Structure 1
């Protein structure tokens, strides 16, 4: 595919997303019908689509409209490219620009440059102030780093870096966690590399690793990952425990379907349970949330989130905390985490929990902002007052 044909394809996929189709589904549907497209073509089209979704509002301003064609036109303008070289009408390129398209569009101003709905921007401003809110919003317009966790059950950082280099992958230590590596070259080779196949490294955001690294553990501790999902934090906790065992639970067990294979590759011991009924020294609740701290990776989510859905999520988060508290041993620690930058999902949920459970207090609260090192995360540690056993 030519660069122009990739732009035309991205515009068609964006139209499907605008009509309600999930971006991943639209990309998969296109790829299945485009046998002519090689791996580089598919990767380039995917990058175009996700770049446009991250900057949808500003690109629409610059392009003069919200359909896929004009969003891609606006994205080219924002990136300093000459649209006339792409919109030629030759071959599979987009049709030539009309006079109206040439004259249309304007530079994004004010909130348009934040690339998020105003109601979300309002909440960020109230929680963080204008300057910090603008910085958070604009960070979410960029591509997220590709980050690996070194599996200390099988390797260490220097050895992992060497193995990755042999796989044609360059990486550097990430300051957010001592097990984290930021990939600087060769990210698309990770899944086929020996370091990944042999369980020396796992794909995991650095802030997510930092959240797992903060969980208080002792060698004899019983640990429950209450919202395990795919098991990234489960495996990180298991590595800290010398292999485990870690008990993993999820309200939807299907989310954990890959966990046994991942644990086997990592050399970790994980016990999946449908109905945890014991007491645990540490209970991690990585609660369902808006995912706002990771919108760089799933940017369509920031356009689909509604105030009503956020309220639903808050109720789910409260319920999870209440249930997990019952599973936490008297002297244990209940760990709450979200990949969110919204105060309603973070500090507000901890404050609400403490209002409902007066015998508890927060011994730690920490937020990680989305930046060049990692995604946005929040975590808090809750313990019972004066607990001794």
Structure 2
């Protein structure tokens, strides 16, 4: 595919997405129809689409409209490209710009967030809002977690280099690496295959580092098990649970590859089991801290969904607290930047549970390199 044909494909995908189809489904359908597109073409088109979703409002402003065509015009203008070089109408390129399109668009600053959530984000982030909003327009780096149960960070850096993958240490965690060259090769690397490193955001690793290990640990909202594996690699005896068993289906294989053990239990089994020294609840959230990776999420989220999520978070904290042994730890986390999901939930729990005390609170934002995360460490009386 030519660069112009890739732009045309991105326009088609964005238009389908704007009609309501999830972006991953649109990308999959396009790839199935477009057998002529090679792996580099598919990756390039995907990059165009996700960059557009991260910068939807500003690209629309630069392009003078909300259609896929206008958004990609804005994307090229944002890059300082000559749009006419791509919109030629030749081959599979988009048709030339109309006279109106030649003059449409404004270059003034536009915030790339839904209008309804803007006040909450500004109130939550304060003077850091503008810098964080700008950072979230950029693609997130690929971070790896070195499996400290098997190897060291320096050894993984050297092993990746032998496969032409460049990685450097990141200061958010002693296990974190940032891949700076050839990130797409990691999934096929021996380092991944042999369980020496896993993909995991650096701030997510920092959260795992901060969870106290004072005895058996329950990862109450385990999902795919990334933090379960990180805790197990630290030497913790880990049990994983998630309301969706399907989300945990890969944990046994991931644990086997990493050389660690993670037990999986249902909620009825947990209620019959002994209490845990630490219960970690990485609660369902808006995902506002990870919108660089999932930019569709910020446009999909609604006020109603956020309110339901807040209710769910409070329920998760109450249920998780009942599984903590006396004197034990409840670690509450989200990958959100919103105060309502973070400090307000932690403070509300403490107000409703006399005797519980706060050990620490931690906030991470994209300004530190990783995703946005929150962690509150609370102790049971």
TM-score normalised by L of structure 2:
0.97
**Which aligned pairs between 1:179-194 and structure 2 lie closer than 5 A?**
179-194=175-190
Q: CA offsets, 1:33-81, max 9 Å, x none? A: 1111111000000000000000000000000000101000001101111
Q: Deviations over 1:152-196 (max 9, x none)?
A: 111101111111111211000001000000000010100100001
Q: Distance in 2 between matches of 1:362 and 1:120?
A: 29
Q: 1:119 maps to which residue?
A: 116
Q: Is the Cα–Cα contact under 8 Å of residues 144 and 372 in structure 1 kept in the other structure?
A: no
Q: Shift of the alpha carbon at 1:85?
A: 0.3
Residue 97 of structure 1 corresponds to which residue in structure 2?
97
Alignment of 1:59-78 (within 5 A): 59-78=59-78
Distance 1:162 1:38 in 2: 30
Distance 2:223 2:242 in 1: 6
Q: Distance in 2 between matches of 1:36 and 1:95?
A: 21
The aligned counterpart of 1:233 is 227
Q: Distance in 1 between matches of 2:89 and 2:13?
A: 18
Q: Deviations over 1:192-242 (max 9, x none)?
A: 000010000000000000000001114xx111000000000000000001x
Distance in 1 (CA, whole Å) between partners of 2:188 and 2:50 is 23
Q: Which runs of 5+ in 2 are unaligned?
A: none
For each residue in 1:248-299, what CA deviation from the matched residue of structure 2 results, as whole angstroms up to 9, or x when unmatched?
0000110001111111100110111112123000111000001000000010
Contact 2:282 2:334 in 1 (8 A): yes
Moved more, 287-296 or 244-253: 244-253
Q: Check the 8 A contact 2:165/2:181 in 1, yes or no.
A: yes
Counterpart of 1:257 in structure 2 is 249
Counterpart selection for 1:310 from 306, 324, 333? 306
1:200 corresponds to: 196
**Structure-1 residue corresponding to 2:128:** 132
> TM-score if structure 1 supplies the norm length?
0.95
Q: Return the alpha-carbon distance in structure 2 between the equivalents of residues 196 and 372 of structure 1.
A: 25
Q: 1:351 and 2:343 equivalent?
A: no
Where does residue 47 of structure 1 map in the other structure?
47
Alignment RMSD: 1.0
Structure-2 residue corresponding to 1:330: 326
**C-alpha distance in structure 1 between counterparts of 2:237 and 2:34, whole Å:** 45
CA shift at 1:245, angstroms?
3.3
Check conservation: 2:357, 2:378, Cα contact below 8 A. Answer: yes
> Counterpart of 2:340 in 1: which secondary structure?
helix
CA offset at residue 147 of structure 1? 0.2
Deviation of 1:6 (Å): 0.3
Aligned residues: 377
In structure 2, the residue corresponding to 1:182 is in which secondary structure?
A: strand
Query: For 1:167 and 1:352, how far apart are their aligned partners in 2?
Result: 49
Equivalent-residue separation in structure 2 for 1:315 and 1:321 (angstroms): 10
Q: What is the CA distance between 1:137 and its match in structure 2?
A: 1.4
Deviation at 1:333, TM superposition (A): 0.6
* Residues 10, 48 of structure 2: 8 Å contact kept: yes
Deviations 1:300-346 (A, max 9, x none): 11111111111100000000000000001111110000000010100
Structure 1 outlier segments of 4+, above 6 Å: none
Comparing 22-31 with 231-240, greater Cα deviation is found at: 22-31
Structure 1 gaps, min length 5? none
Give yes or no for the alignment of 1:366 onto 2:366. Answer: no
Q: Secondary structure at the match of 1:153?
A: coil
- The answer to whether the Cα contact below 8 Å between 2:172 and 2:368 also exists between their aligned partners in 1 is no
User: 303-312 or 232-241, which moves further after superposition?
Assistant: 303-312
